[in-house]
Amino acid sequence: MTDWTETYRPTTLSEVRGNNKARDQLREWAESWDDHRKSVIVHGSPGVGKTSAAHALANDLGWPVMELNASDSRGADVIERVAGEAAKSGTLTAGGAGRRLVILDEADNFHGNADYGGSREVTRVVKDANQPIVLVANEFYDMSQSLRNACETIEFRDVSKRSIVPVLRDICRREGVEFDEEALEKIAESTSGDLRSAVNDLQAVAEETERLTVEDVVTGQRDTTEGIFDFLDALIKEEDAEGALRASYDVDETPDDLLNWIEDNVPKDYEGAELADAYGFLSNADRWLGRVRATQNYSFWRYATDNMTAGVAASRRGDKGGWTRYGPPSYWSKLGRTKGTRNTRDSIAERIAEREGASVATARREILPFLSAMTHHCKNRELTVRMAAAYDLDASEVSFVTGSGKDTNKVQSIVEDAEERKAEEAVEHSGNAFFEAERSSEDDTDEPAADTDADDGGNEQQTLVASETDDGSATESTADDQSAADEPDDDQSGLSDFM
């Protein structure tokens, strides 16, 4: 049977459900692209129709589509070759005015590859693009700040139940599936605004019954929920190494999530030497998953799965009877509680990395702790002001680095002083461009300087420039020295700028 999510994918924007405002914003962006010539970030939860809306837009306007998925190709050279060329070149067979639509799907995944140039290259591409680009992302703040600032943004919200049910009803009628209205409502409620998951759930349940009822939906949900707990029981208490590995094939979890489930629940039944051995295998699995993240070679997944299933089962010594209350990984709840803090940390680290020419990981791991220690509670006020100005920090970010309250008068005054400092530096780094015209007119009225001796040993001509010191005395320096002192250092001097 064909995949219903593909069969019934919207072909025009008018068929996109549940995000009418976002849909209209996307059309307006495309139709006015010649006026603003900016790329757009379409972001929101998985399954709400972001990529479908981008393809439907291209279909409405008659624009050919070129799509790049960040999970497949993330290196700077690939982005330059594929997305860069597509963004710069039109064809005689393309849409109006030679237009084509470039879609960068899973664009938030480029952040994870920032150290290899992917994020930086995407930012350069969208700034220089001569074709409209849509970047599709699940996590808006996982993208670099420079990339977010270079694009317009449109948010797709979770699809409401009242928008999902009519879609499911229409699919049932087209597929000849008999249904109870309550069953469709139950599916719509259980998918939490994910329209794609709702269609997948509908297809899965409809294949197993002649008439779709609420009981069918509830049974299907119960089987899915119990799957992971049945697997943990088999892994930790019952199966041998081979049986545990085979049992993992029926669990609908990624290796990363499965590792978290096992790691959190193994200590509830294992202890002593068997627990130490089990954690040794889990450590090996984590190393293989790290290689997957670093290389994008997903064939390493099987080695991780072998270690976390067969290895953990082989570590068991003795029978493990009775009932154990297994639960979801505590790591997930910690991530939820710290999401805002991590977003702030990563935003600061990205700016530090961009300014200092370092990787984001280095900025986060080495430079940020150094800054935090130097500016703790803003005790060194002048240094804190210089830091805030150098990295363009707002009150919440200064508070994060220094550990001070963002609403305190001290932090607010530091941010205000940093803004003044940035304004002064902008004038200083202008190279006195505002006064060039005045200097030129003055030079025209001055007497020409006497010619130098042609036989002066080949020495280069030097013009002495007098400058006033604080005590009123005059000092002399060459014009070459003076220009070198005034010339900015292209923001490469690093921490010394505010130390």
User: 4-156 with 226-328: one CATH topology?
Assistant: no
Residue 72 has pLDDT above 60, yes or no: no
Mean pLDDT of 40-54: 92
For residue range 158-180, what is the model confidence (pLDDT) as tens digits? 898 889 999 999 999 998 889 88
Report the C-alpha gap between 199 and 341 in whole angstroms: 35
pLDDT > 60? residue 219:
no
Tens-place pLDDT, residues 311-370:
999 999 988 878 888 888 876 666 666 777 888 888 899 999 888 888 888 888 889 999
Global pTM reads 0.48
Tell me: pLDDT of 379 over 90: no
What percent of the chain has a predicted confidence (pLDDT) above 70? 74
> 1.10.8, 1.10.10, 3.40.50, 2.60.120: which CATH number matches 161-212?
1.10.8
> DSSP letters of 65-107?
EEEEETTT--SHHHHIIIIIHHHH---TTSSGGG--EEEEETG
Q: What is the pLDDT of residue 45?
A: 87
One-letter amino acid identity for 231? F
Give 39 or 75, the one with higher predicted confidence: 39
Q: What is the C-alpha separation between 482 and 469, in angstroms, rounded?
A: 14
CATH 1.20.272 fits 226-328, yes or no: yes
pLDDT at 216: 76
Rounded mean pLDDT, 23-45: 93
Highest mean pLDDT of the ranges 105-109, 277-281, 377-381, 409-413: 277-281
Domain boundaries, the chain: 4-156, 161-212, 226-328, 332-428
Question: Looking up tokens 């959190």, which residue turns up?
Answer: 264
Q: What average pLDDT does range 140-163 have in this prediction?
A: 88
> Cβ(187)–Cβ(37) under 8 Å?
no
Query: Residue 283: what pLDDT?
Result: 96
- Superfamily of domain 4-156 in CATH is P-loop containing nucleotide triphosphate hydrolases (3.40.50.300)
Does residue 57 carry a pLDDT above 70?
A: yes
pLDDT at 70 over 80: no
Q: Which residue has the tokens 């229409």?
A: 170
